[in-house]
Amino acid sequence: MRVDKSGNLPWVEKYRPSTLDDLISHEDIIKTINKFINENQLPHLLFYGPPGTGKTSTILACAKKLYKPAQFSSMVLELNASDDRGIGIVRGQILSFASTGTMYRSGFKLIILDEADAMTNDAQNALRRIMEKYTENVRFCIICNYLSKIIPALQSRCTKFRFGSLNSEQILPRLEHVVKEENIKITEDGKRALMELSGGDMRKVLNVLQSTWLAFGDVTETNVYSCVGHPLPIDIKNIVNWLLNEQYFSAYSKINDLKIKKGLALQDILTQLHLLVNKIEFPDNIIMELIIKLAQIEKQTAAGCNEAVQLNALVSAFQNARDIEKV
Ligand SMILES: Nc1ncnc2c1ncn2[C@@H]1O[C@H](COP(=O)(O)OP(=O)(O)O)[C@@H](O)[C@H]1O
Ligand SMILES: [Mg+2]
């Protein structure tokens, strides 16, 4: 009997693409990297872009293509945010890995610096010389979310690839693949909700899918939103309705009750509200004022101010806008 070792893995790991061809989107990047590898001309690489778009998966798939499993431990050094990456490790572990020869005659070693945003400037500066001096022996792959966190000197030594967020058409086939493999009952609006919530982050799609499936069984729109405690579209519609039509106290208490009943965060409500505000038919100057107030409330909420006070501010911002419109 075949024992399925991947049975208890979280799906993000279970369905991590193992070859370059399994990766969705980023066709140009994959094509270019494939060409580099096939012609044995791999430069130093720098991958950047938002989380969950396949950066780590891409370099791991490259490593699998470059080396046989037996070579892995001696040819690949992978450091991520959980390892210390101050200047000490650059001068110690990285330098010694880069400067020692390989057992295998041909080929270079690979050093993967995942989540390099966390590297100190000193450590990055110390890397510059190592990168140049040992190019014959080793290639670097630096991965980060924000390009600005990498010093320009390192950027100029690498070939840069930007991993953009994935769009719904790209996510859908992969999502359907997982759904089929795991035999999950999912509705069309459930899929839409997953993709909307994820904002182009494939890791989030898989994580939310798995938790919704574990918690509720069926993956529907309502279940997905309840699983992550995010307001449902209908809730937001109600909130806007109350804000625009109810008296002050009644609007406040209705929103507050809903918040408590469903455990919603004001921050999530604000984000969704903001998308709808532009569609309200107020004159431009009123909308502008309203949006500025919403932005202030969001900032104060993010800074940790009292939610009840901020909710009051939200209701009064709308009341104000309505009052001005009436005169
Ligand atoms: N382009 C992609 N194609 C297929 N699966 C992806 C892709 N990007 C992300 N994933 C899924 O999301 C998970 C996390 O991807 P990862 O490569 O670790 O993202 P990053 O390093 O960019 O944050 C992977 O295990 C995989 O299941
Ligand atoms: Mg990663």
pLDDT tens for 16-30 read 998 888 888 888 999
Q: Measured between alpha carbons, how far is 182 from 314 in angstroms, rounded to an integer?
A: 43
Q: 23 CB less than 6 Å from ligand 1?
A: yes
Q: What atom in ligand 1 is closest to the CA of residue 11? A: 27
Indicate the pTM of the whole model: 0.83
Q: Measured between alpha carbons, how far is 325 from 290 in angstroms, rounded to an integer?
A: 12
> Are the beta carbons of 163 and 53 closer than 8 angstroms?
yes
Q: Is the pLDDT of residue 192 over 60?
A: yes
Query: Whose CA is closest to atom 27 on ligand 1?
Result: 16
The residue whose CB lies within 8 Å of the most ligand 1 atoms, and thus the one to mutate among 58, 145, 202, is 202
Instruction: Please tell me the predicted confidence (pLDDT) of residue 263.
Output: 87
Ligand nearest to the CA of 60: 1
Average the pLDDT over 281-301 and give the result: 91
Q: What is the pLDDT of residues 228-277, one digit of tens each?
A: 888 988 999 999 999 999 999 999 999 999 999 988 999 999 998 988 88
Nearest partner of 208 among 219, 200, 54, judged by Cα: 219
Q: What atom in ligand 1 is closest to the CA of residue 163? A: 22
Q: 17 CB less than 6 Å from ligand 1?
A: yes
Average the pLDDT over 124-128 and give the result: 91
Chain-centroid distance of CA 173 in Å reads: 19
Positive or negative, the CA dihedral 260, 262, 265, 269 is negative
Q: Measured between alpha carbons, how far is 136 from 109 in angstroms, rounded to an integer?
A: 9
Chain-centroid distance of CA 20 in Å reads: 20
Q: How confident is the model at residue 1 (pLDDT cuts 50, 70, 90)?
A: very low
Positive or negative, the CA dihedral 182, 203, 223, 280 is negative
Chain-centroid distance of CA 302 in Å reads: 20
Torsion (CA) 170, 171, 173, 174 in degrees, nearest 10: 120
Nearest partner of 194 among 184, 179, 209, 181, judged by Cα: 209
11 Cα: distance to centroid of ligand 1 (angstroms): 11
Q: What is the pLDDT of residues 50-99, one digit of tens each?
A: 999 999 999 999 999 888 888 888 899 999 877 878 888 888 888 999 88
24 Cα: distance to centroid of ligand 1 (angstroms): 9
Q: 52 CB less than 6 Å from ligand 1?
A: yes
Instruction: Please tell me the predicted confidence (pLDDT) of residue 3.
Output: 42
DSSP conformation class of 94? I
Lookup: tokens for 200: 């182009």
Average the pLDDT over 157-174 and give the result: 93
Q: What atom in ligand 1 is closest to the CA of residue 51? A: 23
User: Side-chain half-sphere of 288: how many Cα atoms within 13 Å?
Assistant: 3
Q: What atom in ligand 1 is closest to the CA of residue 47? A: 22
Q: Measured between alpha carbons, how far is 52 from 69 in angstroms, rounded to an integer?
A: 25
Q: Measured between alpha carbons, how far is 64 from 66 in angstroms, rounded to an integer?
A: 5
Nearest partner of 144 among 80, 65, 61, judged by Cα: 80
Q: What is the pLDDT of residues 211-220, one digit of tens each?
A: 999 999 899 9
Ligand nearest to the CA of 165: 1
Ligand nearest to the CA of 25: 1
Is 87 exposed, middle or buried (CB count within 10 Å of its CB: 0-12, 13-18, 19+)?
middle
Three-class DSSP category at 78: strand
Q: Measured between alpha carbons, how far is 310 from 252 in angstroms, rounded to an integer?
A: 11
Which residues make beta-bridge pairs with 46?
142, 160
Helix (H) or strand (E) holding 267: helix 266-277
**Helical pair 202-216 and 188-198, crossing angle rounded to 10 deg:** 130
Ligand nearest to the CA of 161: 1
**Helical pair 233-245 and 266-277, crossing angle rounded to 10 deg:** 70
> Are the beta carbons of 130 and 90 closer than 8 angstroms?
yes
> Are the beta carbons of 98 and 138 closer than 8 angstroms?
yes
Q: Measured between alpha carbons, how far is 327 from 235 in angstroms, rounded to an integer?
A: 30
Instruction: Please tell me the predicted confidence (pLDDT) of residue 213.
Output: 94
Query: Whose CA is closest to atom 8 on ligand 1?
Result: 54
